[in-house]
Protein backbone atom coordinates (compact mmCIF):
# COMPACT_ATOMS: atom_id res chain seq x y z
CA UNK A 1 0.00 0.00 0.00
CA UNK A 2 2.56 2.58 -1.06
CA UNK A 3 1.21 6.00 -1.95
CA UNK A 4 3.39 7.72 -4.52
CA UNK A 5 3.08 11.26 -5.79
CA UNK A 6 5.07 11.83 -8.97
CA UNK A 7 5.73 15.30 -10.33
CA UNK A 8 2.28 16.34 -9.22
CA UNK A 9 0.83 19.73 -10.04
CA UNK A 10 -2.45 20.92 -8.58
CA UNK A 11 -4.68 23.83 -9.53
CA UNK A 12 -7.26 25.80 -7.63
CA UNK A 13 -9.98 27.49 -9.63
CA UNK A 14 -8.02 26.79 -12.81
CA UNK A 15 -4.86 28.50 -11.55
CA UNK A 16 -1.93 26.19 -10.80
CA UNK A 17 -0.76 26.54 -7.20
CA UNK A 18 1.78 23.73 -6.87
CA UNK A 19 3.92 21.87 -9.37
CA UNK A 20 6.59 19.19 -9.35
CA UNK A 21 5.63 17.75 -5.95
CA UNK A 22 7.22 14.35 -5.29
CA UNK A 23 6.88 12.19 -2.23
CA UNK A 24 6.04 8.64 -1.26
CA UNK A 25 4.51 7.16 1.84
CA UNK A 26 5.01 3.51 2.68
CA UNK A 27 2.90 1.50 5.14
CA UNK A 28 3.57 2.64 8.68
CA UNK A 29 4.75 6.05 7.55
CA UNK A 30 3.27 9.45 8.22
CA UNK A 31 3.90 12.42 5.94
CA UNK A 32 3.21 15.92 7.16
CA UNK A 33 2.77 18.67 4.59
CA UNK A 34 3.77 22.12 5.72
CA UNK A 35 3.91 25.53 4.14
CA UNK A 36 2.43 28.99 4.62
CA UNK A 37 -1.30 29.65 4.27
CA UNK A 38 -2.45 29.54 0.68
CA UNK A 39 0.46 27.45 -0.57
CA UNK A 40 -1.94 24.71 -1.67
CA UNK A 41 -1.99 22.16 1.12
CA UNK A 42 -5.77 21.74 1.03
CA UNK A 43 -5.81 21.64 -2.77
CA UNK A 44 -3.12 18.96 -2.78
CA UNK A 45 -4.99 16.88 -0.21
CA UNK A 46 -8.29 17.23 -2.11
CA UNK A 47 -6.49 16.09 -5.25
CA UNK A 48 -5.07 13.09 -3.39
CA UNK A 49 -8.57 12.25 -2.17
CA UNK A 50 -9.81 12.27 -5.76
CA UNK A 51 -12.15 15.22 -5.34
CA UNK A 52 -10.42 17.03 -8.20
CA UNK A 53 -8.18 15.85 -11.02
CA UNK A 54 -4.42 16.57 -10.92
CA UNK A 55 -3.29 19.48 -13.08
CA UNK A 56 -0.17 17.57 -14.08
CA UNK A 57 1.79 14.55 -12.90
CA UNK A 58 0.45 11.40 -11.33
CA UNK A 59 -0.78 9.94 -8.08
CA UNK A 60 0.01 6.25 -7.80
CA UNK A 61 -2.27 4.32 -5.49
CA UNK A 62 -2.39 0.59 -4.92
CA UNK A 63 -6.17 0.77 -4.96
CA UNK A 64 -8.47 3.58 -6.01
CA UNK A 65 -10.53 3.14 -2.85
CA UNK A 66 -7.61 3.23 -0.44
CA UNK A 67 -7.96 6.79 0.81
CA UNK A 68 -10.05 8.06 3.71
CA UNK A 69 -10.30 11.84 3.55
CA UNK A 70 -11.09 14.29 6.33
CA UNK A 71 -11.35 17.93 5.38
CA UNK A 72 -11.91 21.15 7.30
CA UNK A 73 -15.57 20.27 7.83
CA UNK A 74 -16.38 17.14 9.78
CA UNK A 75 -19.49 16.00 7.94
CA UNK A 76 -21.49 15.63 11.13
CA UNK A 77 -25.27 15.80 11.24
CA UNK A 78 -26.35 17.89 14.21
CA UNK A 79 -29.69 16.15 14.76
CA UNK A 80 -28.23 12.64 14.79
CA UNK A 81 -26.53 11.20 17.85
CA UNK A 82 -22.81 10.47 17.95
CA UNK A 83 -23.55 6.77 17.53
CA UNK A 84 -25.93 7.34 14.62
CA UNK A 85 -23.38 9.53 12.84
CA UNK A 86 -20.65 6.92 13.17
CA UNK A 87 -22.90 4.01 12.33
CA UNK A 88 -23.96 5.76 9.12
CA UNK A 89 -20.36 6.14 7.96
CA UNK A 90 -19.57 2.57 9.00
CA UNK A 91 -22.47 1.27 6.91
CA UNK A 92 -21.48 3.42 3.93
CA UNK A 93 -18.03 1.85 4.08
CA UNK A 94 -19.38 -1.65 4.64
CA UNK A 95 -18.02 -1.94 8.19
CA UNK A 96 -20.06 -3.30 11.03
CA UNK A 97 -18.23 -2.34 14.18
CA UNK A 98 -17.99 1.18 15.58
CA UNK A 99 -17.05 0.23 19.16
CA UNK A 100 -13.34 0.37 18.38
CA UNK A 101 -13.56 3.89 16.92
CA UNK A 102 -15.70 5.08 19.83
CA UNK A 103 -13.14 3.78 22.30
CA UNK A 104 -10.10 5.06 20.43
CA UNK A 105 -11.37 8.62 20.30
CA UNK A 106 -12.83 8.66 23.78
CA UNK A 107 -16.41 9.09 22.63
CA UNK A 108 -17.94 6.50 24.96
CA UNK A 109 -19.60 9.00 27.29
CA UNK A 110 -20.90 11.05 24.37
CA UNK A 111 -22.29 8.15 22.34
CA UNK A 112 -25.98 8.87 22.92
CA UNK A 113 -25.67 12.67 22.79
CA UNK A 114 -26.96 14.68 19.85
CA UNK A 115 -23.96 15.71 17.76
CA UNK A 116 -25.32 19.27 17.58
CA UNK A 117 -24.79 19.64 21.31
CA UNK A 118 -21.09 18.76 21.22
CA UNK A 119 -18.32 21.31 21.60
CA UNK A 120 -16.09 22.15 18.63
CA UNK A 121 -13.34 19.87 19.91
CA UNK A 122 -15.72 16.98 20.56
CA UNK A 123 -17.15 17.38 17.05
CA UNK A 124 -13.65 17.25 15.67
CA UNK A 125 -13.01 14.04 17.58
CA UNK A 126 -16.19 12.56 16.15
CA UNK A 127 -15.10 13.67 12.67
CA UNK A 128 -11.76 11.94 13.15
CA UNK A 129 -13.38 8.81 14.60
CA UNK A 130 -15.09 8.49 11.23
CA UNK A 131 -11.66 7.64 9.75
CA UNK A 132 -11.42 4.60 11.96
CA UNK A 133 -14.75 3.21 10.73
CA UNK A 134 -13.85 3.56 7.05
CA UNK A 135 -11.44 0.64 7.25
CA UNK A 136 -9.22 2.32 4.65
CA UNK A 137 -5.42 2.17 4.85
CA UNK A 138 -4.41 5.70 3.77
CA UNK A 139 -5.65 8.62 5.86
CA UNK A 140 -5.55 12.02 4.19
CA UNK A 141 -6.20 14.68 6.78
CA UNK A 142 -6.48 18.42 6.46
CA UNK A 143 -5.50 20.24 9.67
CA UNK A 144 -6.78 17.39 11.85
CA UNK A 145 -5.88 19.01 15.16
CA UNK A 146 -7.83 22.26 14.72
CA UNK A 147 -9.88 23.01 17.85
CA UNK A 148 -8.51 19.98 19.73
CA UNK A 149 -7.12 20.48 23.24
CA UNK A 150 -3.81 18.96 24.37
CA UNK A 151 -5.48 15.82 25.67
CA UNK A 152 -7.45 15.28 22.45
CA UNK A 153 -4.32 15.88 20.36
CA UNK A 154 -2.65 13.10 22.35
CA UNK A 155 -5.70 10.89 21.79
CA UNK A 156 -5.53 11.66 18.08
CA UNK A 157 -1.76 11.04 18.05
CA UNK A 158 -2.32 7.66 19.67
CA UNK A 159 -5.01 6.77 17.13
CA UNK A 160 -2.72 7.70 14.23
CA UNK A 161 0.13 5.71 15.78
CA UNK A 162 -2.13 2.68 16.15
CA UNK A 163 -3.19 3.10 12.53
CA UNK A 164 0.44 3.29 11.38
CA UNK A 165 1.39 0.30 13.52
CA UNK A 166 -1.31 -1.76 11.81
CA UNK A 167 0.25 -1.02 8.43
CA UNK A 168 -1.66 2.13 7.59
CA UNK A 169 -0.39 5.37 6.11
CA UNK A 170 -1.22 8.96 6.98
CA UNK A 171 -0.71 12.16 4.99
CA UNK A 172 -1.71 15.33 6.72
CA UNK A 173 -1.35 19.07 6.73
CA UNK A 174 -0.52 20.35 10.16
CA UNK A 175 1.61 22.85 12.03
CA UNK A 176 1.89 21.25 15.42
CA UNK A 177 4.13 18.53 16.74
CA UNK A 178 2.28 15.21 17.01
CA UNK A 179 4.79 13.58 19.32
CA UNK A 180 5.87 10.84 16.94
CA UNK A 181 8.19 10.43 13.97
CA UNK A 182 6.87 11.94 10.79
CA UNK A 183 8.37 12.86 7.45
CA UNK A 184 7.93 16.57 6.81
CA UNK A 185 7.43 17.76 3.25
CA UNK A 186 7.67 21.52 2.94
CA UNK A 187 5.57 22.65 -0.01
CA UNK A 188 7.02 26.16 -0.27
CA UNK A 189 9.64 25.30 -2.96
CA UNK A 190 6.95 23.71 -5.14
CA UNK A 191 4.91 26.85 -5.69
CA UNK A 192 3.78 27.05 -9.29
CA UNK A 193 5.55 29.62 -11.42
CA UNK A 194 3.00 29.70 -14.20
CA UNK A 195 -0.19 31.51 -13.34
CA UNK A 196 -1.95 31.10 -16.66
CA UNK A 197 -4.90 28.77 -16.49
CA UNK A 198 -5.41 25.97 -18.94
CA UNK A 199 -8.47 23.96 -19.87
CA UNK A 200 -10.61 25.82 -17.40
CA UNK A 201 -14.19 25.80 -18.53
CA UNK A 202 -15.88 26.68 -15.29
CA UNK A 203 -15.38 30.45 -15.32
CA UNK A 204 -19.10 31.05 -15.57
CA UNK A 205 -19.58 29.38 -12.22
CA UNK B 1 -27.03 3.49 -0.44
CA UNK B 2 -29.74 2.09 1.78
CA UNK B 3 -27.87 3.64 4.72
CA UNK B 4 -27.88 7.00 2.95
CA UNK B 5 -31.60 6.72 2.19
CA UNK B 6 -32.42 5.84 5.80
CA UNK B 7 -30.24 8.68 7.08
CA UNK B 8 -31.90 11.22 4.76
CA UNK B 9 -35.39 10.15 5.78
CA UNK B 10 -34.37 10.25 9.43
CA UNK B 11 -32.88 13.73 9.04
CA UNK B 12 -36.02 14.95 7.32
CA UNK B 13 -38.38 13.78 10.07
CA UNK B 14 -36.19 14.99 12.96
CA UNK B 15 -36.56 18.52 14.28
CA UNK B 16 -35.73 21.17 11.70
CA UNK B 17 -35.62 18.64 8.89
CA UNK B 18 -38.40 20.28 6.93
CA UNK B 19 -40.74 17.32 6.89
CA UNK B 20 -44.31 18.60 6.78
CA UNK B 21 -43.20 21.99 5.50
CA UNK B 22 -44.15 21.14 1.94
CA UNK B 23 -47.33 19.51 3.14
CA UNK B 24 -48.36 22.60 5.14
CA UNK B 25 -47.55 24.81 2.16
CA UNK B 26 -49.69 22.60 -0.09
CA UNK B 27 -52.57 22.83 2.39
CA UNK B 28 -52.37 26.62 2.59
CA UNK B 29 -52.15 27.16 -1.17
CA UNK B 30 -55.17 24.97 -1.77
CA UNK B 31 -57.15 26.59 1.05
CA UNK B 32 -56.38 30.06 -0.30
CA UNK B 33 -57.77 29.33 -3.77
CA UNK B 34 -61.48 29.31 -2.78
CA UNK B 35 -60.89 32.52 -0.81
CA UNK B 36 -59.51 34.20 -3.91
CA UNK B 37 -62.06 32.86 -6.40
CA UNK B 38 -65.20 32.83 -4.27
CA UNK B 39 -67.25 29.85 -3.11
CA UNK B 40 -68.59 28.97 -6.52
CA UNK B 41 -68.75 25.17 -6.56
CA UNK B 42 -69.02 24.72 -10.32
CA UNK B 43 -65.94 26.84 -10.99
CA UNK B 44 -63.94 25.25 -8.17
CA UNK B 45 -64.70 21.70 -9.24
CA UNK B 46 -63.61 22.56 -12.79
CA UNK B 47 -60.24 23.98 -11.74
CA UNK B 48 -59.63 21.59 -8.82
CA UNK B 49 -57.32 19.11 -10.65
CA UNK B 50 -55.13 21.90 -11.99
CA UNK B 51 -54.95 23.75 -8.68
CA UNK B 52 -54.04 20.57 -6.80
CA UNK B 53 -51.30 19.80 -9.29
CA UNK B 54 -49.85 23.34 -9.16
CA UNK B 55 -49.98 23.19 -5.36
CA UNK B 56 -48.19 19.85 -5.25
CA UNK B 57 -45.55 21.09 -7.67
CA UNK B 58 -44.82 24.26 -5.67
CA UNK B 59 -44.78 22.33 -2.39
CA UNK B 60 -42.25 19.94 -3.91
CA UNK B 61 -40.10 22.86 -5.04
CA UNK B 62 -39.94 24.26 -1.52
CA UNK B 63 -37.69 21.54 -0.12
CA UNK B 64 -35.45 20.93 -3.13
CA UNK B 65 -32.50 23.07 -2.08
CA UNK B 66 -32.12 21.01 1.08
CA UNK B 67 -31.26 17.88 -0.92
CA UNK B 68 -27.58 18.74 -1.37
CA UNK B 69 -27.06 22.17 0.21
CA UNK B 70 -27.01 20.95 3.82
CA UNK B 71 -24.63 18.09 3.03
CA UNK B 72 -22.42 20.50 1.10
CA UNK B 73 -22.22 23.03 3.94
CA UNK B 74 -21.20 20.57 6.64
CA UNK B 75 -18.70 18.74 4.44
CA UNK B 76 -20.69 15.50 4.22
CA UNK B 77 -20.90 15.71 0.44
CA UNK B 78 -17.08 15.67 0.06
CA UNK B 79 -16.91 12.66 2.32
CA UNK B 80 -19.70 10.85 0.49
CA UNK B 81 -17.95 11.59 -2.81
CA UNK B 82 -14.79 9.91 -1.50
CA UNK B 83 -16.72 6.95 -0.08
CA UNK B 84 -17.33 3.67 -1.94
CA UNK B 85 -20.85 4.78 -2.93
CA UNK B 86 -21.19 5.64 -6.63
CA UNK B 87 -22.41 9.24 -6.97
CA UNK B 88 -25.13 8.09 -9.36
CA UNK B 89 -26.49 5.88 -6.61
CA UNK B 90 -26.17 8.72 -4.10
CA UNK B 91 -28.28 10.96 -6.35
CA UNK B 92 -30.88 8.24 -6.84
CA UNK B 93 -31.05 7.52 -3.08
CA UNK B 94 -31.41 11.20 -2.30
CA UNK B 95 -34.15 11.65 -4.89
CA UNK B 96 -35.98 8.65 -3.44
CA UNK B 97 -35.65 10.02 0.09
CA UNK B 98 -36.97 13.38 -1.10
CA UNK B 99 -39.94 11.70 -2.73
CA UNK B 100 -40.75 9.63 0.35
CA UNK B 101 -40.61 12.67 2.64
CA UNK B 102 -42.25 15.20 0.29
CA UNK B 103 -44.00 13.61 -2.68
CA UNK B 104 -45.66 10.72 -0.91
CA UNK B 105 -47.30 12.87 1.83
CA UNK B 106 -48.66 15.13 -0.94
CA UNK B 107 -50.20 12.14 -2.69
CA UNK B 108 -51.87 11.09 0.56
CA UNK B 109 -53.09 14.60 1.39
CA UNK B 110 -54.38 15.49 -2.07
CA UNK B 111 -57.76 13.66 -1.84
CA UNK B 112 -58.51 15.41 1.46
CA UNK B 113 -57.80 18.78 -0.11
CA UNK B 114 -59.85 17.76 -3.14
CA UNK B 115 -62.90 17.99 -0.88
CA UNK B 116 -62.13 21.66 -0.20
CA UNK B 117 -62.22 22.33 -3.94
CA UNK B 118 -65.32 20.14 -4.52
CA UNK B 119 -63.50 17.80 -6.88
CA UNK B 120 -66.04 15.53 -8.62
CA UNK B 121 -66.22 12.06 -7.06
CA UNK B 122 -64.91 10.34 -10.22
CA UNK B 123 -61.76 12.45 -10.03
CA UNK B 124 -60.34 11.17 -6.72
CA UNK B 125 -58.76 7.90 -7.86
CA UNK B 126 -57.27 9.52 -10.95
CA UNK B 127 -55.93 12.45 -8.95
CA UNK B 128 -54.12 10.05 -6.63
CA UNK B 129 -52.88 7.91 -9.53
CA UNK B 130 -51.61 10.95 -11.45
CA UNK B 131 -49.75 12.31 -8.42
CA UNK B 132 -48.38 8.88 -7.56
CA UNK B 133 -47.00 8.46 -11.08
CA UNK B 134 -45.92 12.07 -11.56
CA UNK B 135 -44.34 13.18 -8.28
CA UNK B 136 -41.29 10.86 -8.53
CA UNK B 137 -40.31 12.80 -11.66
CA UNK B 138 -40.57 16.05 -9.68
CA UNK B 139 -38.14 14.71 -7.08
CA UNK B 140 -35.67 13.35 -9.63
CA UNK B 141 -35.69 16.54 -11.72
CA UNK B 142 -35.40 18.56 -8.53
CA UNK B 143 -32.37 16.53 -7.43
CA UNK B 144 -30.73 17.37 -10.75
CA UNK B 145 -31.47 21.08 -10.19
CA UNK B 146 -30.13 20.88 -6.63
CA UNK B 147 -26.93 19.25 -7.91
CA UNK B 148 -26.52 22.05 -10.45
CA UNK B 149 -26.79 24.81 -7.86
CA UNK B 150 -25.03 23.07 -4.97
CA UNK B 151 -22.04 25.37 -4.53
CA UNK B 152 -24.01 28.58 -4.90
CA UNK B 153 -24.88 30.63 -1.84
CA UNK B 154 -28.64 31.14 -1.64
CA UNK B 155 -29.12 29.24 -4.87
CA UNK B 156 -32.77 28.54 -4.06
CA UNK B 157 -34.20 31.09 -6.46
CA UNK B 158 -31.88 30.03 -9.27
CA UNK B 159 -32.87 26.44 -8.54
CA UNK B 160 -36.57 27.31 -8.95
CA UNK B 161 -35.90 29.08 -12.23
CA UNK B 162 -33.93 26.09 -13.54
CA UNK B 163 -36.32 23.43 -12.36
CA UNK B 164 -39.77 24.88 -13.06
CA UNK B 165 -39.47 24.77 -16.87
CA UNK B 166 -38.36 21.14 -16.58
CA UNK B 167 -41.53 20.40 -14.61
CA UNK B 168 -43.76 21.47 -17.52
CA UNK B 169 -44.24 18.06 -19.19
CA UNK B 170 -45.07 16.38 -15.90
CA UNK B 171 -47.50 19.17 -15.01
CA UNK B 172 -49.23 19.03 -18.41
CA UNK B 173 -49.77 15.26 -18.43
CA UNK B 174 -50.40 14.96 -14.69
CA UNK B 175 -53.05 17.67 -14.60
CA UNK B 176 -54.54 16.22 -17.79
CA UNK B 177 -54.93 12.78 -16.18
CA UNK B 178 -56.61 14.33 -13.13
CA UNK B 179 -58.82 16.59 -15.28
CA UNK B 180 -59.87 13.84 -17.66
CA UNK B 181 -60.53 11.51 -14.72
CA UNK B 182 -62.72 14.09 -13.01
CA UNK B 183 -64.68 14.59 -16.24
CA UNK B 184 -65.12 10.86 -16.93
CA UNK B 185 -62.97 11.08 -20.05
CA UNK B 186 -60.33 8.63 -21.31
CA UNK B 187 -57.16 8.93 -19.20
CA UNK B 188 -54.98 6.32 -20.90
CA UNK B 189 -52.99 8.57 -23.26
CA UNK B 190 -51.95 11.27 -20.76
CA UNK B 191 -51.31 8.60 -18.11
CA UNK B 192 -48.98 6.66 -20.40
CA UNK B 193 -47.15 9.85 -21.35
CA UNK B 194 -46.88 10.89 -17.69
CA UNK B 195 -45.45 7.49 -16.80
CA UNK B 196 -43.05 7.75 -19.74
CA UNK B 197 -41.77 11.14 -18.54
CA UNK B 198 -41.25 9.73 -15.05
CA UNK B 199 -39.45 6.63 -16.33
CA UNK B 200 -37.13 8.61 -18.58
CA UNK B 201 -36.18 11.07 -15.83
CA UNK B 202 -35.53 8.26 -13.35
CA UNK B 203 -33.40 6.42 -15.90
CA UNK B 204 -31.29 9.37 -17.07
CA UNK B 205 -31.14 12.16 -14.53
CA UNK B 206 -29.23 10.42 -11.71
CA UNK B 207 -26.30 10.14 -14.15
CA UNK B 208 -26.58 13.80 -15.12
CA UNK B 209 -26.88 14.81 -11.45
CA UNK B 210 -23.76 12.81 -10.55
CA UNK B 211 -21.83 14.42 -13.41
CA UNK B 212 -22.67 18.00 -12.39
CA UNK B 213 -22.04 17.15 -8.73
CA UNK B 214 -18.52 15.98 -9.60
CA UNK B 215 -17.95 19.26 -11.41
CA UNK B 216 -19.28 21.32 -8.51
CA UNK B 217 -17.14 19.55 -5.90
CA UNK B 218 -13.83 20.38 -7.58
Yes or no, beta carbons of B7 and A76 under 8 Å apart? no
User: How close is the nearest chain B Cα to the Cα of A68, in Å?
Assistant: 7
Arithmetic mean of pLDDT, B100-126:
91
Q: What share of chain A is helix, strand, coil (3-state, %, to 5)?
A: 30, 25, 45
User: How close is the nearest chain B Cα to the Cα of A189, in Å?
Assistant: 24
Flag whether pLDDT at A203 surpasses 50: no
Q: Write the residue in B2, B11, B82 that is nearest to A67 by C-beta.
A: B82
Yes or no, beta carbons of B17 and A73 under 8 Å apart? no
**Cβ atoms A59, A48 nearer than 8 A:** yes
Arithmetic mean of pLDDT, A16-35:
88
Yes or no, beta carbons of A92 and B4 under 8 Å apart? yes
Print burial letters for A72-106: b (CB count within 10 Å at least 16), e (below 16).
Answer: ebbbbbbbbbbbbbbbbbbbbbebeebeebbebbb
Count interface pairs A-B at CB distance under 8 A.
77
pLDDT in tens, A34-55: 888 888 888 999 998 888 888 8
Percent of chain A with pLDDT over 90: 1
pLDDT in tens, B145-175: 999 999 888 788 899 999 999 999 999 999 9
Nearest residue of A to residue B16, measured between CA atoms: A79
| pLDDT at residue B177, rounded to an integer | 94
Mean pLDDT of chain A: 84
User: How close is the nearest chain A Cα to the Cα of B218, in Å?
Assistant: 5
pLDDT band (50, 70, 90) for residue A174 = confident
| pLDDT at residue A204, rounded to an integer | 47
Which domains are seen in chain A, by residue range?
A: 1-66+137-200 (3.40.50.300), 76-134 (no CATH)
pLDDT band (50, 70, 90) for residue A196 = low
The chain B residues in contact with chain A (CB within 8 A) are 2-4, 7, 10-11, 14-17, 73-76, 78-85, 151, 215-218
| pLDDT at residue A132, rounded to an integer | 87
Flag whether pLDDT at B22 surpasses 80: yes
Flag whether pLDDT at A205 surpasses 50: no
Yes or no, beta carbons of A73 and B215 under 8 Å apart? no
Yes or no, beta carbons of A77 and B7 under 8 Å apart? yes
Q: How high is the ipTM of this complex?
A: 0.85
pLDDT in tens, A135-168: 888 999 988 888 888 888 888 888 888 888 888 8
Q: How, if at all, do strands A183-186 and A3-12 pair?
A: unpaired
User: How close is the nearest chain B Cα to the Cα of A91, in Å?
Assistant: 6
Amino acid sequence: MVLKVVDLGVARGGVPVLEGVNFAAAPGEAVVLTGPNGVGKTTLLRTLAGLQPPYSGRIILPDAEAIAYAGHADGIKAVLSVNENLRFWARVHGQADIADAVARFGLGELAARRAGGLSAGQKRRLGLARLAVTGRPIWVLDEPTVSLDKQSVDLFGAAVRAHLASGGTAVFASHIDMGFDVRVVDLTPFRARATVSRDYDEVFL
Amino acid sequence: MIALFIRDVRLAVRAGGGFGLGLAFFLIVVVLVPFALGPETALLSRIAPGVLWIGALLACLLSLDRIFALDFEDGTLDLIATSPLPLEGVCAAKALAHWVTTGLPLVVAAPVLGVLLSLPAAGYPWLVVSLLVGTPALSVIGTFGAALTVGIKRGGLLLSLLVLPLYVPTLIFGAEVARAGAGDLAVETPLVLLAAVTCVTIALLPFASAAVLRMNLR
